[in-house]
Structure 1
Amino acid sequence: MTSSIPIASTIAPSLSASTGATVELIGVVKNYGTHRALNSIDFSITPGEFVALLGPSGCGKTTALRALSGLELIDGGRIVIDGDDVAGVPTNKRDIGMVFQSYSLFPHLTAIENIEFGLRMRRVSASERRGRATEALDMVGLASFAERFAHQLSGGQQQRVALARALVTRPRVLLLDEPLSALDAKVRVQLRDEIRRIQIELGITTVFVTHDQEEALAVADRVAVMREGVIEQIGTPEELYSAPSTPFVADFVGLSNRIAAELVDGRVIVHGASMALLGEPMADGPVTAFVRPENVEIVSSGVPATVVSSSFLGSLRRTQVILSDDSLLSIQHHVDLRPQQGDPVFVRLTASPVSAVRRTL
């Protein structure tokens, strides 16, 4: 089955009546034995904001989400929703909707019955349950699939049902734990855009956990990059990409060339280019600079290099070259330029600011 299903253009008034909440994590600590999974993390989310938690496996992003939901008890700090500390409040009392990587649909219930389940637990009347579930199905474009069972739906359709089930209770906060990772690439892009559209129209505060930086940068208002239980940086996608505050963020978000350079009077000097240093000031000396592929150009004269490979990526090409010192550089450029393996070329680094880390000789 495919998931190319038309999506409703507007949100039903009864669903859009929900308003987003302010969410704060203040000094939150979570330990698993001797391992500290969350190391006094702090961040706040404004009503209706979409925040992504991004990082490698084991960085603590899912633990933070589970702590916010109440599925994990914290060992220190506070979790505050609309001014109320909910750290000791059970999950079912936090007014939170959750969507997981696994669809977790009841196989013996139809799509609309799955969506109604949370309302039934809240003792909502049968007529109201059916009306709200129907609206939720229409919201995710599955109005004609109401009577189908889970095994009769594709993965993308099942995840839409799971999303509708989370939203039908009109929660103040929506938590998404890698909800797209089990889907194929095309469906992932389609569904992530639909989730963002629905979130904007509902105005619901949303936290989205992912290890896929493209997903995070594409849909989030702000992204929190996590590493070893701490938040390295939180900011807009543009801020994280163009002004990473730490070398880890520069290396993790987007692609970067790691190039040997020298720091002189606060400027990074590499292959004839002088670039401003991002982040904290450093003492002069040898450093490794993190240079984006789009900040390297193929030019008519400059640093000699030899083409190693060149790949067509649709809207751009990515070419890898090797310099005389055996340094490898990746370059992103227009598709009309088609260098071939072995071609001699010249390259130049632009003067864009870069992050750097101390280099040991």
Structure 2
Amino acid sequence: MTTLTTAGTVTGPSAPAAVVASTPTGAQVELRGIVKEFPGGHRALDAIDLTIRPGEFLALLGPSGCGKTTALRVLAGLEAATSGTVLIGDADVSTTPARSRDIGMVFQSYSLFPHMTALANVEFGLRMRRVGADERRRRAGDALEMVGLGGFGGRYAHELSGGQQQRVALARALVTEPRLLLLDEPLSALDARVRVQLREEIRRIQLDFGITTVFVTHDQEEALAVADRVAVMRAGRIEQIASPEELYSRAATPFVAEFVGSSNRIRGVVRDGFAELCDARLPLVDPSFEEGDAIVFVRPEDLRFGDTGIPVDVVSTSFLGSYRRTTVALEDGTVVRVQHAAATVPEVDQRLFLQFAGAPVAVSAWES
């Protein structure tokens, strides 16, 4: 079992100590045919199959009610699956209670014991495992150093900010050296700046220790920023699982194309493995899609303005810092968004020419 150790000097919460791990501790995790039905016939998980590699950081991404938290709770042992098998390593843990699954878990709510100091909160799991007092205190102190709170062990929850409380919760989950770390929207209650900082810390720690990690979120930016792979869920099923880059650039379904990032919906025709729209012929993510009228999903950054192309009229334009997003209308009234350099500032009602970059696109059948 890897022991948590630290090196370096901590100068504040934003400068955590470096972490050294001797060997990865992550386990392979599998969900096989997991079904979860609740009273009343609601099927929250519909035959989920999922393999998570040892040491992998996997994000479960999707809208509210898609089943991502239920999947996490089944994996944790907090919910019993209606059918199917859960494996951690080589062990079938489908009927194993949560306390015996060798997992660490961080929830959206910090769930700290208010009558305990930060150090005592982190020690709690070790105390339940009957670890000796000196060893317990040393390991809890190391865990707090690891998350950048080495000098905060004597503080109570009400004396800590939200970000600091979540760091304590993370240290508490890691101090027992679990083979699997589960994160259930742990950043959603934090402000934007702290959220970005803490997600980077979580990723750094996960990489240093090689802990297999499952991260539930509805925030696509979080998922794309930290995960090795992202599983997009919808209505109890996995729509697509892929690296962040592949998921974004080659969305396998219209749902993924619209949920991850932003897409324009433009009418076209599928023919010979391509989508034909306006004056463009674009490759399909799925070349086997049935031919006929279709809705084509095109990313705003895969459109550009040029000296020639499709005539459009500017509807509005918005400055978004490093880029600008301009809404234009095609001659048939279809409204599309174009992402382009901030230095280009179109005027409302200006006539421009639109070109397609030629990136692969997702399509769906035309809805008459």
Alignment length, in residue pairs? 356
SS at match of 1:27: strand
1:177 matched to 2:177: no
How far apart are the structure 1 equivalents of 2:110 and 2:20? 24
Aligned identity (percent) is 59
SS at match of 1:144: coil
User: Which residue is equivalent to 1:322?
Assistant: 329
Assess if the C-alpha contact under 8 Å between 2:268 and 2:295 holds in 1.
yes
User: Which residue is equivalent to 1:77?
Assistant: 84
Assess if the C-alpha contact under 8 Å between 2:29 and 2:89 holds in 1.
yes
How far apart are the structure 2 equivalents of 1:111 and 1:331? 49
- Shift in Å, 1:239: 1.1
1:32 matched to 2:38: yes
How far apart are the structure 2 equivalents of 1:95 and 1:259? 49
1:5 matched to 2:13: yes
How far apart are the structure 2 equivalents of 1:248 and 1:200? 31
How far apart are the structure 2 equivalents of 1:146 and 1:48? 29
Q: What amino acid does structure 1 have at the position aligned with 2:350?
A: D
How far apart are the structure 2 equivalents of 1:40 and 1:187? 36
The two structures have a TM-score, normalised by structure 1, of 0.96
How far apart are the structure 1 equivalents of 2:287 and 2:195? 37
Assess if the C-alpha contact under 8 Å between 2:302 and 2:359 holds in 1.
yes
Pick from 150, 159, 166: which aligns with 2:173?
Answer: 166
User: Which residue is equivalent to 1:336?
Assistant: 343
Q: List per-residue Cα deviations over 1:289-332 (Å, max 9, x = no partner).
A: 00000111111122111212222222211111112211111111
User: Which residue is equivalent to 1:50?
Assistant: 57
User: Which residue is equivalent to 2:154?
Assistant: 147
How far apart are the structure 2 equivalents of 1:20 and 1:53? 18
- Shift in Å, 1:280: 5.8
Q: What amino acid does structure 2 have at the position aligned with 1:339?
A: P
- Shift in Å, 1:17: 5.7
Which runs of at least 4 in structure 1 moved beyond 3 Å after TM superposition? none
Q: List per-residue Cα deviations over 1:165-194 (Å, max 9, x = no partner).
A: 000000000000000000011111111011
- Shift in Å, 1:198: 0.5
How far apart are the structure 2 equivalents of 1:127 and 1:47? 32
How far apart are the structure 1 equivalents of 2:19 and 2:364? 48
How far apart are the structure 1 equivalents of 2:44 and 2:367? 30
Q: List per-residue Cα deviations over 1:103-125 (Å, max 9, x = no partner).
A: 00011111111101111111110
Q: What amino acid does structure 2 have at the position aligned with 1:23?
A: V
Pick from 255, 268, 271: which aligns with 1:264?
Answer: 271
How far apart are the structure 2 equivalents of 1:340 and 1:140? 49
- Shift in Å, 1:154: 0.6
Pick from 71, 92, 98: which aligns with 2:99?
Answer: 92
Within a 5 Å distance, the mapping from 1:254-333 to structure 2 comes to 254-279=261-286, 281-333=288-340
Pick from 47, 64, 68: which aligns with 1:61?
Answer: 68
How far apart are the structure 1 equivalents of 2:20 and 2:277? 57
1:241 matched to 2:248: yes
1:357 matched to 2:359: no
SS at match of 1:179: coil
User: Which residue is equivalent to 1:156?
Assistant: 163
User: Which residue is equivalent to 1:214?
Assistant: 221
Q: How well do the aligned residues superpose, as a CA RMSD in angstroms?
A: 1.3
- Shift in Å, 1:242: 1.1
Assess if the C-alpha contact under 8 Å between 1:12 and 1:139 holds in 2.
no
How far apart are the structure 1 equivalents of 2:327 and 2:342? 14
Q: What amino acid does structure 2 have at the position aligned with 1:115?
A: V
**Greater Cα offset, 246-255 or 225-234:** 246-255
Q: List per-residue Cα deviations over 1:182-209 (Å, max 9, x = no partner).
A: 0011111111011000100011000000
Assess if the C-alpha contact under 8 Å between 1:244 and 1:279 holds in 2.
no
Gap runs ≥5 in structure 2: 1-11
How far apart are the structure 2 equivalents of 1:171 and 1:179? 18
